[in-house]
Structure 1
Amino acid sequence: MNDFTLGIGDKNLSSWSLRPWFLMTQAGIPFTEENIRLDRPETRGILKEKSPSGLVPYLIHGDVKIWDSLAIMEYLNELFPEKQLWPEDRQARALARSVAAEMHSGFSALRAVWPMMVTRKDMRHTTQSGVARDIERVDHLWSLCRKTYGAGGDFLFGRFSIADAIYAPVASRFTTYGPVELSPEAASYRDMMMALPAMQKWIEGAKAELAAG
């Protein structure tokens, strides 16, 4: 049951790869990591063979292949109900799914103007109006989740969930392009996420990849 292979892209850049990797690492779900270096002559051929979409990430589990970050995480939630990867409370779960879906489909300015670069910190960068709106919206969502359902722990809904994994690359962006002005609640959450062993492991992996060339 637990024979998983997770295909990911460059750790410094691939925000979509970070999400399921972070979820599986933080939740303690064992997997084999298959790292596909992006934007190289051989990349397209490798991904065409490995991934139904030709993109990363992808999860291989026996005969099952899944090629979307949120779909991968939903699949794992079904396989590991004991890990409660969504909040147990129905209303909290509805909010968690809403904020995760909003991140999955939105925040286009933040994605385009502030690409993920996890090995960099405190890069001064102009904040265009679209980016400023996205930052304000993320701050609102993080604060809403923490204040409403976060009393039981440090994560958005107290205990770790898929919603946290979805926003892991955003916490990274808010460090790379800092200092980003956030509310105390949101800033505390960002700092907690960046200090997690799973995130630090990903960053160290990114540094190693860059050093290897």
Structure 2
Amino acid sequence: MEIVVGTKKWSSWSLRPWLALKHTGEDFKETVVELRHVGTSEALIAQHSPSKLVPVVKDGDLVVWDSLAICEYLNEKYPKALLWPEDPTLRALGRSVAAEMHSGFTSLRGECPMELETRKTVAISEATQNDVRKIVERWNQLLKRSGGPFLLGKWSIADAFYTPVATRFRTYGIHLSDYGDTGPAGTYCERLLETPEYLAWEADALK
């Protein structure tokens, strides 16, 4: 299996399925396409992806694109990895929050892109503040229900989808205690950035 990802310090959508694939414990080939090169990045990506976007997974003659579709494919291909929990209620909630991230929080994603090499404190817009409050609320809801330490108890695809969010909070100096958190969400945010899988990605991104 091969996964094609974008520049690791910037490509939040690539990070998500890469983490899921890493959590399967299976061997895979990784191809990195450098982004933000006008006229060349798209052409290089098009050699791998019918959508001309990263990430994309190639498994034999099968090509799967879109981060959520890739994660679902990995869950089906490697069921023993338990990328989604066996409990159907937690699994449904996990899919809900992953889809919410996949299609929402556009202000946060636009105003605070993933930049692993950066540390700064910024004043964020009201729309982005609302996104942060909603994320804090959602994290706390799920952590309370599952008991933690991750959103659904054990690490899952839902956590893969929110790991890039955790990097944004760190990069832009966003303190969750300013947005309704009393501790659990902030601790979870730190935990996401301490997993061995994420640390491996970050080390490669910043070398």
TM-score, length-scaled by structure 1 = 0.91
Q: How do 1:54-203 residues align onto structure 2 when only pairs under 5 Å count?
A: 54-121=52-119, 123-149=120-146, 151=147, 153-182=148-177, 183=181, 184-203=183-202
Work out whether 1:15 is the aligned partner of 2:16: no
Partner SS, residue 2 of structure 2: strand
Distance in 2 (CA, whole Å) between partners of 1:101 and 1:93 is 12
Structure 2 regions of 5+ residues with no counterpart?
none
> Comparing 109-118 with 86-95, which one deviates more in the overlay?
86-95
Q: Match of 1:195, SS?
A: coil
Aligned residue-pair number: 202
- Cα distance in 2 for partners of 1:21, 1:51 equals 16
Following superposition, the deviation at residue 147 of structure 1 comes to 0.5
**Cα RMSD (Å):** 1.2
CA–CA separation in structure 1 for the residues paired with 2:173 and 2:24: 28
Q: Deviations over 1:87-112 (max 9, x none)?
A: 21111111111101000000000001
**Which stretch has the larger CA shift, 22-31 or 182-191?**
22-31
CA distance in 1, matches of 2:176, 2:155: 24
| Distance (Å, rounded) in 1 between the aligned partners of 2:124 and 2:42 | 33
Residue 196 of structure 1 deviates from its aligned partner by: 1.3
Q: Is the 8 A contact 1:119 1:203 kept in 2?
A: no
**1:22-37 correspondence runs (5 A):** 22-37=19-34
Deviation per CA, 1:84-141, whole angstroms, max 9, x where unpaired? 11121111111111101000000000001000011223x1111111110100011011
Query: Matched residues in 1 for 2:65 and 2:199: separation?
Result: 25
Deviation (angstroms), 1:39: 2.1
Q: SS at 2:168's partner residue?
A: helix
Letter in 1 for 2:197: A
Contact 1:114-1:177 within 8 A present in 2 as well: yes
The Cα shift of 1:83 comes to 1.4
